[in-house]
Every structure is written in C-alpha cells, then in structure tokens.
Structure 1
C-alpha cells in the first residue's frame, strides 16, 4: 500500500522534503545495533521494507519519492531540484511530478485558486503517473499552509480535484496555521476560505500551528545550549518528526502492519468531526538524548497532563489539574508507541486516559482510545517514543481567532477587491463564515 504526498506551495514543499529526509533517517537509525536479536533484525527489515514501499518507488537501487511538488514560484522548486541538493540525499523527485509556475499567487487565495484551475491538467497527469507506479494507494497526503496564496488557494483547488478524481481515496491534509501576529495582512481571509473548502473535500485535517512550533523550537534550542535564535528549519524539523511518527509503520495486536486509513477509522467516527492534533513525548533536544532515560509510565503521565492542560508542550503545565478539570474534550484518541522493549502500557493508559470527563458524552467508553505498537525498533534516536493523535477541541481556538479577525476585516470590506478580481465575491466569504462557525460550535458542544 502506497501513500502519495502532495507538496503545495512554499511551506508544503519545504515540509514535504523534510518528511522524506526524516523517513530515510528513521529507517537508517537503530539504537545499539550490536545488541539486536535475529528477531529484531528481521522485524526491522520488515519495517524498512514497508516504509520504503509506502513512500518511495524503488528501481535499480534508486528511491523516487511518491510525491508531487507544486508551486507557482521558482525559488523553492529550484532548491528542491538543485543537483547539489539532490546529491546529498538518498532519494530524488520524479521530474514529471514537479510542477512550477513563474508568476506566483501574490498571497491571494483567489489568485491561487485560479492558478489551480490553470494547472489542473498537468497536476492530474502527474498524479496518474504516481498511481500507475503504485500497486494500491492507502492515502493521499496534501501538505500546505493556510496563510499564503499558493498553498491555500491552489492547495484547496487541488484537493477538490483529487476528491473528484479519486472519490474513494483517503485524503489526510496537513495544514499549518499562520502566526497570530501575522505573516501577511490577508492571512485570515486566506485561512477562512481554505478551511471552508478543505472541510468539504478532505477526510481529515491534521493541524499544526506556527506559534506552537516556534515555542517548541525555542525550548529545544535553549535546552541544547546553542546561542542562536530559532529558525524555520527548527520548526520544520519538529513538525516532520511528529508527522513521521504517525506515518511510519505500526503494528496491531496480531503484529500485522496497519495502513494509515485503518489507523484513522477509530478517530473519525463522524464525518463532520475531522480536526486532528498530534502530541508527542519525550520532547528532548538531540544533545540530551544520550543522557536521558524514561519509563512508559512517566511519558504517559506527561502526555496526560499536556492533554488536560490543552497544551502541546510538556513544560509550564498546571499539574494540579485533574481529569474532571480538563480544558479539552475528544471524540477519540489514538496512541502509537515505539521502542525495543516489550513492556505493557495498557494499564498506564487506562489509569490516565480512561476517564469519561476527557471525552464527548457521545463517545462510548469502548471507543475512548486505540493503541498500536512497534516494539522491535525505536523511532529515530529515541529509546521510547509515544504519539497521541486526538480528534479534539484543541484547534478550535485557532479557528475562532481566524474567524474573528476575518469578520473584523470583512465588516470594513477591507481588501475584498483583491479577491473580486478573480471572481471570489462576498457570498463566498459568507459561506466560509457559516461553514467554519458551524465547525467551531459543533466542537465546543462536545
């Protein structure tokens, strides 16, 4: 089963490249290889084979990413395809699947959406090439930012096209929410329109926020002892480390590798609730890994307190909060545990996450959470690593902020003429407000 990544716009292409680098890095990383048993080695070989089959086309010892790289400007695409850059990697992009423009989208969702219609034929031809080189597709994974014009506008158009072209394929879209303080003046308009379109066409939206990623990056840079400011590479590394912890192979209780859409079934019991978040522990700098050791019980306790505090970070938590005082509720949770040890984590999860107050009143206790493990290989350089994917209320505050700031601009009819040039009128905005306000209300009512 294969997964095809759609890298859309500057953010999507930068993150997408780092995703493939991280997948390869994880496949090559084995803690204490001299101590591995024969069973471990066989299982690791199986893990690597599944990972490579899922994300790469393999031919004559060459790895080609199962990806489409799409942008309306040359800068990022040129960096991706630069010979010097490609020579440093263990993999490459297929030139047929790299689609670039020259005019950009001017941070305008409407312009990006129009550019999507102009590039539709080329994009679908590239997608068909990828499909022809896949035995079967498990999921399609668009990656985009909500702020600019290409990732948001063209991205929304492309996801809609793929939904029409492949109505039965699972579309898991990774979205990056812009800084609260603002990257572009119309970012909230762009975000509103993108969210309203994606909510119709995607099966799930995995939400990352730039504000949180920067806080996380500052923490890791500070802990590493480096005297420098954080940068976009630090943030992309954190995002892709989290994302790949979900994308890499994981097993069910029968030790069979699970497909991505199978993992997500338990998280999406209702098609209207499709906002997902990802929390991971431990949260350590690379320099601290060699000097740290953890028990599953302490990791799960930290994860529980992060959840109750409605926080993505494991610092600055209010440890006095109890489950009945939780600041977020879930439709469902999914845990992925990765390590060499075989220790059971079910009791710890039951102790910390089997509380009715953490979940919607509609969720039966048997569906509170699901657990999957891979216990024959660590993740990257982490002795133990656990990821919590939640369908919960956490992203609602970001959506609330986007809607509120969009209304402020819309009430003054500010910047609407930029969108009217491309036939996106006031009614399109009003439809977006209705859609996202309904999403916010539904999650708040959990």
Structure 2
C-alpha cells in the first residue's frame, strides 16, 4: 500500500518541509519505504499560488528529494479569500493550479502499486490553503472514492490573523466535514503554547525576556506530532518487519468510527533518561482541555497512544496503568467497549539518541466543538452584518454556501456536545 502527501498553501508547505526533514534524517530505509517512490523520490505534491515558499522546496529537488513536476506554483496569491482559492481562476493560456495539481496527482497515483489514500497539509485561514485545499479534497474524493483522506489542518489564532479568517475557516471546515475521513486540528494558539514550553528556558534576550516563539518552531512542533503518530511503528509492520504505510488509515479507523465526528486533537511529550512512563503520561494529560467555556465537561470518543522509546519495550511494563490513566483523563465514553488503542516502537524517530522516549496521544475529543463554536459565532456575526460578503460573491460564492456551512457545523457541534450523554 502507498499514500500521497499533498501540501497546499504557505502553511501546508512549511509544515511539510519540517515533516520531510524528520523523515529524510531517518537512517532506516525500510521505514521510509511508504513515503518514497521506487525511483527514490518523495510521494509528495507541493502547491502554492505564490512562488516564494516553494522556491525552498526546489532547492531540495536538486538534492533528489522532490519530483520537479510535483512542485506547482502560481504567480499571484489568493488574497486570503476562500472563494478565490476554491474557484481558482486563471488568466491567459496558463492552466489553473487545480488542473495542474490534479494532473500531477493522477501521475502519482499511477506510480503506486496500490493507492491507499492522501494526507493533505494546509490551513483554515489562507485563501490557497482553505479554498484550494477544500476544492482538492472535493476533487480527490470524487475521482478516487476508494482512497482515504486525512486532513492535517492549522487553525488561525483566535485573536485574528486576517479579516476574512472566520469566513475561510467556516467554509473550509464544512468542506472537510463533507469530504475527509479525519481532520487532525492544530490551533495556532495551542501550538504556540506547546512550542514555547519546549523552548530552552535558559535562552533569554538582552532585556531579560524569553524570545518569542518563531514560526519555524511552531511548524516543527506540528511536524513532530505528525511523526510521532504517522511514522511507521512496529505494531503495524508485517511479520518480516516491513512497513506498508498503514498508520494514517489505522488512525482513522481507531479514532473516527462515526462520520459525524472526525475532528482529532494531538499532544506530545518527549523525554530523555530513564523511561518513567507514568510521569510522561501526567505531563500529557495535564494539558488536555477539561471543559468548555460554559463549564461542561469534555469527553472522548476514542484515544490512540503511540510510544517510541530507545529503551526497547520498557513501556510494556507500565502499559496497563498508562492506558487506564489516559482513559480516565480523556473521559472516554462508556458505550465504547475499546476506547483506548496503543502502538509501540523500539525506535524514537523524534530523538534518535540513547535513552530517549516519546508519547504522542491523539483523541477524538469534544474540545473540537469549542473551536468550531468560536468560528461559527464570529462568522455568523459578520454574516448577519453582511460584512465582506462582496469579496466572496465576486468569485461565485453564494448565500446558500454560507447557509449550508452553518448548518453542517451546527450539526457537528451538537454531536460533540451530546457525546457524553449517549
């Protein structure tokens, strides 16, 4: 089995660049097999409406990592406008980004011995990541319905990044709900806190303040969580210890059994030294959102724990206590008989040094409803005031698209709100 990685927009390509740095630094060619073609090039398509970000990727083409035909860029951005990115207009004889991307995608599928699905990296905020990303999810689902589709999505800061971000997030989330099998959400505010907590506390500026967390550090954190979850694990390898790239699809199977609830929350802890797994677990669960702003307790449909340790299988000694702690801390629903899943691997790809271990936990958690509720509230306020709608109508987005998006996400919030009562 084999999968295709699709990086869309500035955010998606920057996260992808950090991800591939982790993957290509691994010394085990057998584990890298699911991510590379037979000619040794990466199974990735990188697309952006502006050339500035993909220029760095083109440098890696000369090193033999990416396929030159899979680096696709335009000459002008999409104005942080979902409708502009979704419609993807082109001028003159130039083919649209959508056409060029789908053509490269078709060729990549034909190179696979067995196409299993796509992982798409993008954001909810930018015009290319949200708009073109939504359109690509729709096109891939229509043309390749048998393949899985996992979205890895960066959500904008709640304080605001662009005036149109709430409309963009509203429309993009509704498209992901319709066409994707799973959505791994990384809110920028949460990523910022996680990245800050891992910054060297001894590094201060001349004024005595700890330096601000950089954008590459935030992208590196997201890529680290992805590697913790999706890099091949021993638990899913064949008897001959060959990885066939099941990790993304097993993650969907474990965590997204119900089509109405597919939004995932990930957190990670990495340590060096003796593997005290109970302490590592405590550092993970203490960051889990406990309740929504109204004080209603959150619940989880299911939880996946992935442990990687250079100390062989030391986790197995603490396995039962760790999984029990995760089950209670994430408040798994009582009607799911097997709510907690566990994968293990004797190699820590995140830190290959001796005596290092990591725990990455991914959960189908009702805290996703908090982010969606915030997006709904702000987008509805703007829509009722008819603010900025002309920018969307200009590219063919109608009132019906907004109404359908509101209804779709209202249903998602209702499902998650009632999760603990079922």
Query: Shorter-normalised TM-score: what interval?
Result: 0.7 to 0.9
Pairing of 1:242-253 with structure 2 (within 5 A): 242-252=225-235
Measured in 2, the distance between the counterparts of 1:310 and 1:240 equals 27
TM-score normalised to the size of structure 2? 0.87
2:260 maps to what in 1?
272
Contact 1:116-1:155 at 8 Å conserved across structures = no
Alignment pair present for 1:163 and 2:134: no
Measured in 1, the distance between the counterparts of 2:328 and 2:112 equals 42
Measured in 2, the distance between the counterparts of 1:333 and 1:281 equals 16
Match of 2:33 among 37, 44, 53: 53
Measured in 1, the distance between the counterparts of 2:319 and 2:236 equals 12
Q: What per-residue deviation string (whole Å, max 9, x for no partner) do you get for residues 286-345 of structure 1?
A: xxx5xx54411211233233336479xxxxxxxxxxxxx994211101111111332213
Contact 1:339-1:379 at 8 Å conserved across structures = no
Q: What per-residue deviation string (whole Å, max 9, x for no partner) do you get for residues 87-139 of structure 1?
A: 6x6x5221111221112211111010011794333222101221222222333
Shift of 1:377: 5.0
Match of 1:152 among 123, 130, 136: 130
Q: CA RMSD in A?
A: 2.4
Residue segments in structure 2 that go unaligned for 5+ positions in a row: 91-95, 206-210
Contact 1:176-1:210 at 8 Å conserved across structures = yes
2:180 maps to what in 1?
202
Measured in 2, the distance between the counterparts of 1:301 and 1:370 equals 18
Residue correspondences, number: 397
2:371 maps to what in 1?
398
Alignment pair present for 1:363 and 2:336: yes
Contact 1:378-1:384 at 8 Å conserved across structures = no
Q: 1:376 to 1:102 in 2, by over 3 A?
A: closer
Shift of 1:424: 0.6
1:318 maps to what in 2?
none
SS of residue matched to 1:223: coil
Alignment pair present for 1:351 and 2:324: yes
Match of 1:73 among 13, 33, 50: 50
Pairing of 1:285-434 with structure 2 (within 5 A): 292-307=273-288, 309=290, 327-340=297-310, 341-343=312-314, 344=316, 345-355=318-328, 358-364=331-337, 367-376=338-347, 379-381=350-352, 383-434=356-407
Residue segments in structure 1 that go unaligned for 5+ positions in a row: 29-47, 312-324
Shift of 1:271: 1.4
Shift of 1:221: 2.5
SS of residue matched to 1:266: helix
Contact 2:285-2:329 at 8 Å conserved across structures = no
Shift of 1:269: 1.4
SS of residue matched to 2:116: strand
Alignment pair present for 1:259 and 2:246: yes
TM-score normalised to the size of structure 1? 0.83
SS of residue matched to 1:107: coil
Contact 1:109-1:193 at 8 Å conserved across structures = yes
Alignment pair present for 1:232 and 2:215: yes
SS of residue matched to 2:6: strand
Measured in 2, the distance between the counterparts of 1:415 and 1:254 equals 51
2:208 maps to what in 1?
none
SS of residue matched to 2:234: coil
